[in-house]
Amino acid sequence: MKNLCKTPLAAQRLQAGPSVTPPQRGFHWLALALLGGLAGGCAAPDAQVLNANEPAAMQAALSRARVDLDCVRLGATAHSRQIADRSRAVYAIAVQGCGRQRDYTVVCPLGSRCSAEAAPPSADNAERNR
């Protein structure tokens, strides 16, 4: 048997025979394209989790704000949302009502109830709440 390491590449292919036949080459490209599509879709489950938990996060922020602001007519806006530690969804939600606004950080452990904590006051919020 010849040493294939010192033989030119084209000659190696002829001596060793084709390692991949033309129909298989097409299959390999198809497999690579599918794997690329799956890898690109990995972010989709996070978005689905965030979308699914957002109503419960909003409700937790509104419930907490009813007490904190002593107000029943409230509106809420989600400013940011993310998956933390692959185990919980975290939202930054602003709640407005009765002429005031309060920001909340809402944590929703996956598979459990959401809890809202008042976010530390920022300079912007201090001005709005005066």
pLDDT of residue 120: 83
pTM: 0.61
In this predicted model, what pLDDT tens digit does every residue of 67-118 receive, in sequence order? Answer: 999 999 999 999 999 999 889 999 999 999 999 999 999 999 988 999 999 9
**CA 95 to CA 117: how far, in whole Å?**
12
Helices (H), 9-122: 9-16, 22-40, 43-68
In this predicted model, what pLDDT tens digit does every residue of 10-65 receive, in sequence order? Answer: 444 445 444 454 555 554 444 444 444 444 444 468 999 999 999 999 999 999 99
